[in-house]
Amino acid sequence: MLQKGLIPSTKVLGLEVIADTSLINEKLDLPFDAKLLFLTRLRFANNDPIVFLETYIPYSKFPELLDQDYVNNSLYSLMEAKSNIRVDRVSRQIEAVNPTTREAKILQMEKGKAICLVKTIAYTDKGVPVEYSIARYRGDKNKFSVELYR
């Protein structure tokens, strides 16, 4: 954002320990009853909301992440600094969808406008999944570029 001349900011909407999330736990290769940290954030560029994030993290691997500053620190840097676990790669699925009424309200956009729904699983260098997130990017405020190498 700074390279684009925009001022980034983050608002934490929630951070709690949750259970009974069998679909998420399956994506993280966890037992169905394993507890998760559930972090919700809204990110801004020049005070305009651009992405709404819901992030799930295995609580047993990262209990110290419950009391951290996610406004001024990145999740991955905190994972490494507090738990000595480094994200090595991520797998992302991107699709264009219409926002729900709730998502449109949070992102301060018209309900009929498209968003980019991005689902991410982050892995350590040993292939262990340590984060599952669902991000909803405003279609009118974001553009994605992808480079592929052979």
Write the pLDDT tens digit of every residue in 30-88: 999 999 999 999 999 999 999 999 999 999 999 999 999 999 999 999 999 999 999 99
Write the pLDDT tens digit of every residue in 74-123: 999 999 999 999 999 999 999 999 999 999 999 999 878 999 999 999 99
pTM of the model: 0.91
Instruction: Give me Rg for the CA atoms of the chain.
Output: 16
Domains and CATH numbers, the chain: 2-138 (3.40.1410.10)
Give the CA-trace dihedral at 129, 86, 137, 67, to 10 degrees: 100
